[in-house]
Amino acid sequence: MPKNDNMLAILWMLNSGGKITAKQISEKLEINIRTVYRYMDALCASGVPIISDSGHNGGYSLLNQFIRAPLLFELDEKKALLHAAIFAKEAGYPMNKALDHAAAKLKMYSNQEQENTLSRHLAGFEVINRAGSPAVQPVLAELEQAVAGEFAVEIDYRTGRDEHPKTRVIDPYGVLYWNNKWYTVGYCHLKQEIRSFRADRILAIRRTQMLFKRDAAFSAREFFMQNLLPEAGGQEALVSLIIAGRAEALDDLCLNWYLGHYLQERTSGQAVFVLEEQDMLRYVPHSLLAYGKSLQVLEPQSLKDKLAAVAADLTEYYRNEQLH
């Protein structure tokens, strides 16, 4: 029997709740008793809390709470899961209580050496995110249930343009996190098309009795990303945007929510983007102004002119403000 199968068999024998000796294990599995000792050492190293009692009534047993542990994790796997939990909580994950319980179990089913190691890694690992409204968490929890249960919800939703919320019924197909905000993608009964909705703009959410069936091939992520950016025109409408400057500023610019999707070439002191000219003139100037003189537009001339016009307009606005 392979090593992993033998170790799993030993675990099940220990999980029976009583004590068992190395001799009994070796006879049951038909393996050498020294091999049993090696397997016991390997199980302890993986975090299994095995108690070893010597003497006439001695043997191996498990701590009682380990009976509830469904899986064995390596130390690196536990560390990765606990680090991921930190990211999720900082992003406003709606099931924080369950996440805390899961993290506590991972620590519980570790031996003392592993627990000390995990504590050291967690103490030096932090995630800082833009603070969101706590009111969004119950909305996210309800949306997650609706996605899994495939039932429609009625929401009071206020867009950035509306002063008062409007009531809509949606079939939520998925929930996603992008650029420090949570969204749901689903079919809007009012507009009769698939749309995305910001979770923090959902002021109230109510379950309905209406059910839906989501297409198994549908991807909320793909829909969201395709509709996030303006549609590009034909190839003749595309222009090359060439920007030079400090490497740190270029690194940051290449991660921009808009420009990052059109990056074609990057060197230590220059970045080249290929995109539709009209959209470039609409979205890019205000993003570039924040970088001041650390970035310089080399091409096209139309963007240079637009930047100059925007800067002049801002200058005129604040000059007039001072006069008043």
Is residue 303 a contact partner of residue 241, using CB atoms and an 8 Å limit? yes
Query: Angle CA(171)–CA(84)–CA(99) in degrees, nearest 5?
Result: 65
- What local confidence, expressed as pLDDT, does residue 210 receive? 97
- Which two tokens mark 130? 């833009």
- What local confidence, expressed as pLDDT, does residue 46 receive? 76
Is residue 95 a contact partner of residue 145, using CB atoms and an 8 Å limit? no
Alpha helices in 30-111 (DSSP H): 33-45, 75-90, 96-108
- What local confidence, expressed as pLDDT, does residue 323 receive? 67
**How many helical (H) and strand (E) elements, i.e. helices and strands, does the chain have?**
11, 11
Spell out, as residue ranges, where the chain has pLDDT lower than 50.
none
- What local confidence, expressed as pLDDT, does residue 291 receive? 93
- What local confidence, expressed as pLDDT, does residue 136 receive? 87
- What local confidence, expressed as pLDDT, does residue 68 receive? 52
What CA–CA distance (Å, rounded) separates 34 from 29? 13
> What is Dmax (Cα atoms) for the chain?
97
Look at the chain and count its residues: 324
Is residue 311 a contact partner of residue 289, using CB atoms and an 8 Å limit? yes
Q: Is 310 exposed, middle or buried (0-12, 13-18, 19+ CB in 10 A)?
A: middle
- What local confidence, expressed as pLDDT, does residue 65 receive? 55
Tens-place pLDDT, residues 124-149:
888 887 766 778 889 999 999 999 99
- What local confidence, expressed as pLDDT, does residue 225 receive? 85
> What pTM value is reported for the model?
0.63
What CA–CA distance (Å, rounded) separates 232 from 258? 13
The side-by-side arrangement of strands in the sheet containing 295-299 is 263-266, 270-276, 238-245, 295-299
- What local confidence, expressed as pLDDT, does residue 299 receive? 93
- What local confidence, expressed as pLDDT, does residue 288 receive? 93
Tens-place pLDDT, residues 17-47:
678 898 888 988 888 989 999 988 888 887 7
Q: Which amino acid is at 300?
A: P
Q: List Cα–Cα distances, 210 to 6, 152, 197, 213, in angstroms.
A: 51, 6, 19, 11
Is residue 170 a contact partner of residue 153, using CB atoms and an 8 Å limit? yes
